[in-house]
Amino acid sequence: MAFAKIMIIGNLGRDPELRYTPNGKAVTQFSVAVSHSRPDGQGGWIDDGTDWYRVSVFGDRADRAAEQLRKGNKVFVEGRFKSREFEGKDGEKRTSLDITADNVISLERRGRDDDGGSFTGAPTSAGAPSGGFSGSGGGARPSADDTDIDDLPF
């Protein structure tokens, strides 16, 4: 048995699409573009292309991803990687790079009305990402900004 774990940072290529399995489990799918570039030695950059990944998120995390993510958002995705070959509409063989996400974190800034513009992926006082949809279950963790100064133990 093989296991392939992957971590990527990229931009959503389309709005997430929320669907449900026949037994009622939520599944959200979206695509993430990861661009590759390198310095050209003269202060500029050379574009080495873009890889596209199809990402699937299941369960409660799927609902949150569909609500919070939008086309163009920068995200961190961690999960299980699988590539598969298929024949395109034009008859050519193509390869699909698929990720079943265990963890999705938005790296976008929140609106100024939310909390002054901090990152949704910024660590909380416990060190856990506040903008993530991790698979550990439980409710949303409060961010460090939600803690009243009078509630601190020191």
Degrees (nearest 5) of the Cα angle 138, 79, 145?
45
Question: What's the mean pLDDT in 30-49?
Answer: 91
In a domain, 109, yes or no: yes
pLDDT at 119 > cutoff 90: no
CATH number at residue 116: 2.40.50.140
| Predicted confidence (pLDDT) per residue in 43-72, tens digit | 888 888 999 999 999 999 999 999 999 999
Q: Where are the alpha helices (DSSP H) in 3-132?
A: 60-68, 112-115
Confidence of residue 142 (pLDDT cuts 50, 70, 90): very low
The length of the chain in residues reads 154
Total count of domains within the chain: 1
Please check whether residue 76 lies inside any domain of the structure: yes
Q: Which domain holds residue 25?
A: 5-145
Whether 43 is in a domain gets the answer: yes
Q: What is the pTM of this model?
A: 0.67
